[in-house]
Amino acid sequence: MLIQKQDLQMLALRKKKVLVLGVIVALGFALLFLRLFFMQVINGRYFRHVADENRIQRVYKKASRGVIYDHRHVVLAANSPSFVVTFTSYYINQNEIDRIAGELGRILAIPAGDIVEKSVGSVKRLEPVIVAEDITREQALVIMEKKAYLPGVDVIIEPKRSYPLNNLACHVVGYVGEINLDEYKERRGTGYSIGDRIGKTGIEAYYDTYLKGTNGEEQIEVSASGRQLRLLRETAPVSGSDLELTIDADLQRVAQDALGGVSGAAVVMNPRTGEILALASSPAFNPNMFLRSMSRDEFAYLFKNKNRPLFNKAIQAQYPPGSVFKVVTASACLQEGYVVPEEKLECTGQYTLGTLNQVFRCWKKGGHGHISLIQAIAQSCDIYFYQLGLRLGVTKMANYAKNFGLGSLTGIDLPSEKKGIIPDRAWKKKAVKEAWYDGDTLNMCIGQGYLWVTPLQIAGMMSAAANYGPYYRPQIVKKIIAPDGKVIRDFKTEQDGEVQLDRSNWQLVRQGLEESVKAGTGRAAYIQGLRVAGKTGTAQNPQGLDHAWFAGYAPADDPRIVVVVLVEHGGHGGVVCAPIARKIMEVYFKEAGTGQIQVAPDEVGD
Residues that bind other proteins (CB under 8 A): 1, 10, 13-15, 17-22, 25-26, 28-29, 31-33, 35-37, 39-41, 43-48, 50-52, 54-55, 93-94, 221-225, 229
Q: Least distance to other proteins from the beta carbon of 37, Å? A: 7
Run of H or E including 444: helix 438-445
Beta strand segments in 121-263, E: 129-135, 153-162, 176-178, 197-199, 216-222, 228-235, 242-245
Q: Provide, rounded to whole angstroms, the least separation between the CB of residue 115 and other proteins.
A: 17
Question: Hey, what amino acid is at 518?
Answer: K
**For other proteins, which is the closer residue by CB, 29 or 595?**
29
From 542, 536, 564, select the one nearest 276 (Cα to Cα): 564
For other proteins, the closer of residues 47 and 149 by Cβ is: 47
The answer to whether the CB of 500 falls within 8 A of the CB of 300 is: no
CB atoms within 10 A of CB 18: 9
Cβ nearer to other proteins, comparing 40 with 305: 40
CB closer to other proteins, 138 vs 221 = 221
CA–CA dist 242, 414 (Å, integer) = 16
Cβ proximity to other proteins, 56 vs 142, nearer residue: 56
Torsion of CA 14, 16, 18, 24, to 10 degrees: -150
User: Which lies closer to other proteins via its Cβ, residue 127 or residue 248?
Assistant: 127
Q: Which is nearer to other proteins, 36 or 431 (CB)?
A: 36
Sequence-distant (6+) residues with CB within 8 A of 16 are none
Please state, in angstroms and rounded to a whole number, the distance separating the CA atoms of residues 363 and 350.
9
Query: Nearest Cα to 135, choosing from 294, 298, 293, 299?
Result: 293
Task: Give the residues across from 56 on adjacent strands.
Answer: 221
151 with 92: CB under 8 angstroms? yes
| Residue 581 contacts residue 525 (beta carbons within 8 Å) | yes
Name the residue nearer to other proteins (CB basis): 125 or 188: 125
Q: How far is the CB of 192 from other proteins (least distance, A)?
A: 28
CB of 229 to other proteins, least distance (A): 7
In this structure, are strands 369-371 and 345-347 parallel, antiparallel, or unpaired?
Answer: antiparallel
Is residue 107 within 8 A of residue 139, CB to CB? The reply is: yes
10 Å CB burial of residue 427 (0-12, 13-18, 19+) is middle
SS3 assignment, position 458: helix
Instruction: Pick the closer one to other proteins by CB: 46 or 149.
Output: 46
For other proteins, give the closer residue by CB, 4 or 504: 4
What is the smallest separation between the CB atom of 231 and other proteins, expressed in angstroms? 15
236 residue type, one letter: A
- Closest to other proteins by CB, 54 vs 80, is 54
Least CB distance to other proteins at residue 51 (A) = 4
**CA atoms of 168 and 307, how far apart (whole Å):** 18
Shortest distance, position 101 Cβ to other proteins, whole Å? 15
96 phi, psi to nearest 5 deg:
-65, -40
Q: Which of 444, 340, 341 is nearest to 402 (CA)?
A: 444
Annotate 220-238 with DSSP letters as a single string: EEE-TT--EEEEEEEE--B
Strand, helix or coil for residue 357: coil
The smaller minimum CB distance to other proteins, of residues 96 and 438, is found at: 96
The one-character DSSP state at 323 is G
Closest contact distance (angstroms) between CB of 13 and other proteins is 7
Give the DSSP H/E element, type plus range, for residue 539: strand 533-541
Cα separation, 166 vs 286, in Å, equals 5
Specify the residue, 72 or 125, whose C-beta has the smaller distance to other proteins: 125
Closest approach of Cβ 34 to other proteins, in Å? 10
Question: Cα dist. 416→174, 309, 319, 352 in Å?
Answer: 12, 15, 16, 41
What's the longest Cα–Cα distance across the chain? 149
